[in-house]
A and B are shown apart, each in its own frame.
Chain A
C-alpha cells in the first residue's frame, strides 16, 4: 500500500436523504470503518496475497454431470516449464465441477495452460438434472372438507449460486514450524479448527487471517474447505506460499448453492379469509448433497389451521447445496405469499386485507399498515382488470428470523495512552461487523468512536462466531458491550482508588471522565493513571435484550405486456432488528437483501444441460445477476420501537422480496408466474393463459 494513499477522513459523515431512519440507531452518521481501505484499493483480500515465490494451483474438474475419468495423459502439461505438480486420479464423478485432482505451477497463467494441455478421456454417464427428473408434479391432497373454497397450485424455484465476487480459497504461507493462512472465509475460527491437520501444526503455531472477504452469503462457512486444505498441503510440501483460488466457472460449479424447490399446495379457505385445512408438499433439489433442501413453508407467520406438511430432498447430478442467505426461506416465502394472493383473489379479497387478517403477529400488521401508505397501495388496481400494454402491480411479502443468544468472545483493552482496542475473532464479510463492534465499544464506554481500534479477522483473537445465520451481531454486540463496560469499570476503579472516592461517583461521557456529574479528567489524562498494562475487559455472555427480526416488503412493478419484461419500480423494505447499531450499515444490509431477492426472482438460474448435465452458464455473462440498469428505487425503513437487544439483520431482508415481486407481477398482469425466474417467456405464457 503506497504511503500517499494513506488518507485521514472523519468517519462521522452525516447523510440527510433518509429522514425516516434518523434517530433509530445507536449511531446515525458513522461511515464504515474499513471504507477507506476498500475505496482506495488498499484493502488486501486473501486473493490479493500474492507473495514472492508463490505456487499457484487449481482443481481439475469433471466437465459433465456424470462421467467416468478413464484415462489421464498429462505428458504435454508436464512439458510446460514452470508446472510443478500434476496429480489426477481416475474416478467416477457425479456432477459438473467435481474435482479429480489438481495442477500446481509457478503462475496462474501456467496453471491454466497446463490444465488446457491435459488430455483426459471421459466416458459420459446418464444424468438427472432437476427435481422433475425424479418427481412428477405431485398434487397435494389435504383435508379441506370444511372449506368454502379450495386452491391448489405448484410453484418452483431454480438453483441459485452464491456468486461471491471474490471466489473461494486462500493462501497458505508455511514456514515449516509456523504458518500464516489467509482465508476467504465467513468463519475465521472454523478455519483455524480445521486447517491444523493439513498444515501438520498445532493451533499455537499458525494464524488464520481474514481481514477482508469479497462476499460469502453462506457459502464460506464450516471450515477451510478443499481449496485451503490443498493450499496447506502444497505449501508444506514445497515450502513456498501456496495460492489456491477458484476461478469464476469453479465458483458456479462447486461452491454450493441455494437448492431448487418445488412446492405443491392445496389449501381450503373460508369466505372470511381463514385457512382451514390442506396439504403442502415440498421438494428440495439438493444435487449430490445430503440434505439442505428444506423449504420453510408454512413459515409460521400466517394462521394456517390443519395444514399438513411433508418435505423430500431430491438428488440429481449437480453440485450440492450450502447455506445461502436465509436457507429455505426465500423459496418458501415466494410460494406462500403468491399462494395467499391467489387464494385471496378466489374469495374476492384484497391481498392486503387478507394477509393483514391472516398474519399472526401484530408487528406485521403495523408494518403492513405503514408500508401500504409508503408504497401508495391505494393506487393499486384489482388483479386482472388492466388491459393496457404497460400494467402496474403491487405486492406484499413478509419475513421473519430468529436470533442467536449472546456468546461471541469479546475483549476490550484500554491502554495507558488512551487508545482503546476492541477485539473479537469474527470477520467482516461486508456486513459492517468491524464498524458495529467499534460503535458498541465506544457507546458502552462513553468515548468517541475515533478513540477505538477494532481488531477482527484473526484467529489469534478471542474466538468468535462465523458470519452465518445472522448470528454475528446478536452474539457479539452484547458481549462486546459487556467487555467494554467491564474495562471501563476497571478504569473507574483505578481512578476512584487514586482519588480516594467511590467508583460509582465516576462516569464517562463524550470522552470526558466525570465525577459526580462534573468534569474530572479528559480521557487521555485519566488513562495515563493506568499501569502500562492498561485494563482489559472480556466477556462471552451479555444481555440479549428484547427484540425480533421481522420484515415486510412492498413492491411496485410495471410489466411490459408486449415484451414480458418485468420492471421493478419501487421497494419499501421495512425491517426490525432489535436495537440498530449503525444506521448506514444496517440500511445497506436491507438494500442488499432486497437486491439479491429481486435478482433471484427475475434472472438467476443455474442451468444444466438436460442431456449431459454440464452447467451451460458458469459465468457472469449467462448467469444473470441484477445490474445497475435493472434497479428499482429501494427504501430501507428501520423499525425500532425501543428494543434493547441486537437481533439478526443479515438474512431476514432477503426473505420477502421475491415473494413480494411475484405478487406484484400477478396483480399487474392478472396471471401468476409460479416458476422463477420470471423471464419474459414465462410472463408471455402467463398472459396468453390469462387471455384464453
Chain B
C-alpha cells in the first residue's frame, strides 16, 4: 500500500549538480512496470533535485518517463520532452487557459503545474481526446460550428470544454460562459464555442433570427 504522503513514480536518486534540462523519454508498455516504480518510495527526507529527477506519467493512456529538473513545468515537459505540442504556452502565468490539460479528472493549467507535482498521474491533453480515429463529440461540434479561427487557443478550449461537460453534462449558456471564463481567445470565437458546447451536450445551439419581413 503506497505511503499516501509520498507521490508515486519517483526514483530515489537525486543529483546535487545542476546539469541543465535533459530528458530521456521511454515509453513503457504495460502498466505493471509503472506500478512497480510507483511502489518505490523516497525514504526519509531526501531532497528531490535540483538536478534532473525521473518522473513517470500516463499521458493519453500511454506510460512515459522523463528525467527533468523539478523546476520544469508540465507544459514544458509535454512540449519539449514528449513532443506533444498541442498544449500551448501562451501567457505562461495561468491567466489564459491555453495550456489546459486534464490531470486525474481535474482541469488544470499545465504552465502553472510542476511536472514533479503530477508524476504518477493520468494526464489527458488535446491529442488524447480523439480515440481510434474518431473525434470526441466536443471536437466534432467545434468543427461543425467553426468554433476556431487561428486555432492557437483551441486545444485549451476543447480540453476545458470536455472537462466541464464531464462534470456538468447539460449546462445552461450561463454556466458555459462561467466555466470557460479561464480561457481567452483573441480571434473571437466565443459565440461559436458556446453553440458547439451546447450541441456537444445534446442541446440546441442558440438560434439566430430568421430575418425581417
* Contact A627:B150 (CB < 8 A) given known A40-B139, A591-B189, A621-B93: no
- Cα distance A45–B85 in the bound complex, in angstroms: 9
- Whether a CB of chain A sits under 8 angstroms from the CB of B42 is no
Chain A positions 80 through 102: 1 when the CB is less than 8 Å from some CB of chain B, otherwise 0: 01100000000000000000000
- Whether a CB of chain B sits under 8 angstroms from the CB of A691 is no
Contact B90 A165 (CB under 8 A): yes
Contact A50 B96 (CB under 8 A): no
Taking CB atoms, residues of chain A closer than 8 Å to B57 are none
Contact A6 B93 (CB under 8 A): no
Binds B, one of A308-316, A511-519, A582-590: A582-590
Contact B20 A633 (CB under 8 A): no
Contact B146 A41 (CB under 8 A): no
Contact A5 B150 (CB under 8 A): no
- Whether a CB of chain B sits under 8 angstroms from the CB of A19 is yes
Taking CB atoms, residues of chain B closer than 8 Å to A374 are 209, 212
Contact A431 B149 (CB under 8 A): yes
Taking CB atoms, residues of chain A closer than 8 Å to B183 are 627-628
- Whether a CB of chain B sits under 8 angstroms from the CB of A619 is yes
Contact B193 A430 (CB under 8 A): no
CB distance from A169 to the nearest CB of B (A): 13
Contact A81 B18 (CB under 8 A): yes
Q: List the A residue with the shortest CB-CB distance to B69.
A: A109
* Contact A620:B139 (CB < 8 A) given known A370-B212, A374-B209: no
Taking CB atoms, residues of chain A closer than 8 Å to B72 are 109
Chain A positions 17 through 54: 1 when the CB is less than 8 Å from some CB of chain B, otherwise 0: 11111000000000110111111111111011010000
Contact B209 A635 (CB under 8 A): yes
Contact A635 B85 (CB under 8 A): no
- Cα distance A500–B191 in the bound complex, in angstroms: 56
Binds B, one of A209-217, A298-306, A446-454, A544-552: A209-217
- Cα distance A677–B153 in the bound complex, in angstroms: 25
State the majority secondary structure of interface residues on A. Answer: loop
* Contact A4:B146 (CB < 8 A) given known A17-B208, A592-B189: no
- Cα distance A7–B152 in the bound complex, in angstroms: 20
- Whether a CB of chain A sits under 8 angstroms from the CB of B71 is yes
Taking CB atoms, residues of chain A closer than 8 Å to B131 are 4
- Whether a CB of chain A sits under 8 angstroms from the CB of B16 is no
Q: List the B residue with the shortest CB-CB distance to A9.
A: B135
Taking CB atoms, residues of chain B closer than 8 Å to A431 are 149
- Whether a CB of chain B sits under 8 angstroms from the CB of A164 is yes
CB distance from B160 to the nearest CB of A (A): 10
Chain B positions 180 through 209: 1 when the CB is less than 8 Å from some CB of chain A, otherwise 0: 110111111111111100000000111111
Contact A593 B127 (CB under 8 A): no
Taking CB atoms, residues of chain A closer than 8 Å to B90 are 165-166, 248, 620
When the two chains form the complex, which single residue of B135, B177, B187, B190 contacts A215, counting CB atoms closer than 8 Å?
Answer: B187
Taking CB atoms, residues of chain A closer than 8 Å to B190 are 591, 595, 627-628, 631
Q: List the A residue with the shortest CB-CB distance to B138.
A: A39
Contact B186 A625 (CB under 8 A): yes
- Whether a CB of chain A sits under 8 angstroms from the CB of B84 is yes
- Whether a CB of chain B sits under 8 angstroms from the CB of A596 is yes
Chain B positions 75 through 90: 1 when the CB is less than 8 Å from some CB of chain A, otherwise 0: 0100110011111101
- Whether a CB of chain A sits under 8 angstroms from the CB of B2 is no
- Cα distance A593–B149 in the bound complex, in angstroms: 12
Contact B186 A39 (CB under 8 A): no
- Whether a CB of chain B sits under 8 angstroms from the CB of A15 is yes
* Contact A8:B133 (CB < 8 A) given known A18-B208, A629-B181: yes
Contact A628 B177 (CB under 8 A): yes
- Cα distance A8–B133 in the bound complex, in angstroms: 7
Most buried by B among A82, A214, A633: A214
When the two chains form the complex, which single residue of A81, A106, A370, A430 contacts B187, counting CB atoms closer than 8 Å?
Answer: A430
Q: List the A residue with the shortest CB-CB distance to B91.
A: A620
Most buried by B among A40, A108, A166, A215: A40
* Contact A596:B127 (CB < 8 A) given known A31-B144, A429-B150: no
Chain B positions 109 through 153: 1 when the CB is less than 8 Å from some CB of chain A, otherwise 0: 000000000000000011101111111000110111110111111
When the two chains form the complex, which single residue of A35, A163, A247, A248 contacts B186, counting CB atoms closer than 8 Å?
Answer: A163
- Whether a CB of chain B sits under 8 angstroms from the CB of A107 is yes
Taking CB atoms, residues of chain B closer than 8 Å to A107 are 20-21, 80
Contact B85 A165 (CB under 8 A): no
State the majority secondary structure of interface residues on B. Answer: loop
Contact residue range for chain A?
Answer: 35 or more
Taking CB atoms, residues of chain A closer than 8 Å to B64 are none
Taking CB atoms, residues of chain A closer than 8 Å to B148 are 32, 35, 38-39, 430
Taking CB atoms, residues of chain B closer than 8 Å to A21 are 208
Taking CB atoms, residues of chain A closer than 8 Å to B21 are 82, 106-107, 109-110
Taking CB atoms, residues of chain A closer than 8 Å to B193 are 628
Q: List the B residue with the shortest CB-CB distance to A435.
A: B146
- Whether a CB of chain A sits under 8 angstroms from the CB of B8 is no
CB distance from A656 to the nearest CB of B (A): 15
- Cα distance A621–B158 in the bound complex, in angstroms: 22
Q: List the A residue with the shortest CB-CB distance to B126.
A: A41
Taking CB atoms, residues of chain B closer than 8 Å to A212 are 150-151
Taking CB atoms, residues of chain A closer than 8 Å to B125 are 41
Taking CB atoms, residues of chain B closer than 8 Å to A628 are 176-178, 180-181, 183, 190, 193-194
Q: List the A residue with the shortest CB-CB distance to B179.
A: A628
- Cα distance A370–B213 in the bound complex, in angstroms: 9
- Whether a CB of chain B sits under 8 angstroms from the CB of A358 is no
- Cα distance A294–B144 in the bound complex, in angstroms: 40
Taking CB atoms, residues of chain B closer than 8 Å to A588 are 146, 149, 187-189, 192
CB distance from A617 to the nearest CB of B (A): 11
Contact A627 B184 (CB under 8 A): yes
Taking CB atoms, residues of chain B closer than 8 Å to A629 are 177-178, 180-181
When the two chains form the complex, which single residue of B19, B93, B188 contacts A620, counting CB atoms closer than 8 Å?
Answer: B93
- Whether a CB of chain A sits under 8 angstroms from the CB of B40 is no
CB distance from A84 to the nearest CB of B (A): 11
Contact A41 B84 (CB under 8 A): yes
- Cα distance A453–B25 in the bound complex, in angstroms: 35
Taking CB atoms, residues of chain B closer than 8 Å to A585 are 146
- Whether a CB of chain B sits under 8 angstroms from the CB of A634 is yes
Given A39-B139, A619-B91, 10 other A-B residues pairs in contact with their CB atoms under 8 A: A5-B127, A13-B144, A19-B210, A37-B151, A41-B86, A373-B212, A430-B151, A627-B183, A628-B183, A631-B194
Name 5 interchain pairs, CB-CB below 8 A, sorted by A. Answer: A18-B208, A215-B186, A374-B212, A620-B93, A628-B193
Q: Nearest 5 pairs between A and B by C-beta?
A: A41-B86, A430-B150, A595-B188, A214-B152, A38-B151
Which residues from chain B sit less than 8 Å from chain A, CB to CB? Answer: 18-21, 69, 71-72, 76, 79-80, 83-88, 90-93, 95-96, 98, 125-127, 129-135, 139-140, 142-146, 148-155, 158, 176-178, 180-181, 183-195, 204-212
